[in-house]
């Protein structure tokens, strides 16, 4: 006899911060997605790109993450290393890149090539860029800390793009 395990849709929260509107979705104590830098709450929620969600909800996980995100946006030192994220959609290479990216300390940057090397694939800088571009957990997985080899910022997928990436890097220098 097999037992079917049904996953419930994730719950969502939308919060206003000094970095704009942030939306996130979670299931139990695991983050499913996070968006940031939106000018209105509906756009932030829509950017989660979820087909099905439960009504907005609260939990200890959501309350803790909300407080951490608010502190970070206000310029306080905040560590998201212990926030559990869903990695079911990641290949082994992508998972390795995400894990290494998570280790980049606040106030520091790595180039795409350096992150590729630390991930065990020194010639995969472009692939690392793609992993960063599709990061479902900005801030939690600090893709803004990954820059181009020539010193340029590279790219950033938030609504205001490189403007927000620069703002995040400047915020972490204070």
Q: How far separated are the first and last CA of the chain, in Å rounded?
A: 58
- Listed residue (81, 74, 130, 124) closest to 104, CA to CA: 81
The tens-digit pLDDT sequence of the chain (174 residues) is 565 655 678 889 999 999 999 999 999 899 999 999 999 999 999 999 887 766 656 789 999 999 999 999 999 999 899 999 999 999 999 999 999 999 999 999 999 999 999 999 999 999 999 999 999 999 999 999 999 999 899 887 888 888 999 999 999 996
Query: Would you name the residues annotated as active-site residues?
Result: 143
DSSP tag of 137: S
- Cα torsion angle, 100, 119, 37, 23, sign: negative
CATH number for domain 92-173, candidates 2.60.120.380, 1.10.10.10, 3.30.420.310, 3.60.20.10: 1.10.10.10
- pTM (two decimals): 0.89
Q: Where do the structural domains in the chain lie, given as residue ranges?
A: 11-73, 92-173
């Amino acid at each position: 006899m097999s037992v079917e395990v049904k996953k419930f849709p994730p719950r969502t929260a939308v919060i206003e911060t000094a970095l704009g509107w942030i939306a996130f979705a979670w299931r139990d104590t695991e983050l499913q997605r996070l968006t940031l830098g939106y000018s209105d709450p509906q756009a932030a929620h829509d950017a989660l790109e979820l087909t099905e969600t439960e009504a907005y909800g609260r939990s200890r996980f959501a309350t803790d993450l909300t407080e951490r995100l608010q502190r970070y946006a206000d310029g306080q030192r905040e560590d998201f290393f212990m926030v559990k994220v869903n990695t079911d959609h990641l290949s082994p290479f992508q998972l390795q890149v995400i894990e290494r990216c998570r280790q980049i300390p606040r106030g520091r940057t790595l180039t795409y090539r350096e992150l590729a090397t630390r991930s065990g694939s020194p010639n995969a800088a472009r692939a690392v860029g793609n992993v960063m571009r599709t990061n479902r957990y900005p801030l939690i997985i600090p893709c803004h800390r990954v820059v181009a080899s020539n010193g340029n910022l590279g790219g950033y997928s938030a609504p205001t793009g490189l403007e927000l990436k620069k703002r995040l890097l400047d915020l972490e220098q204070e």
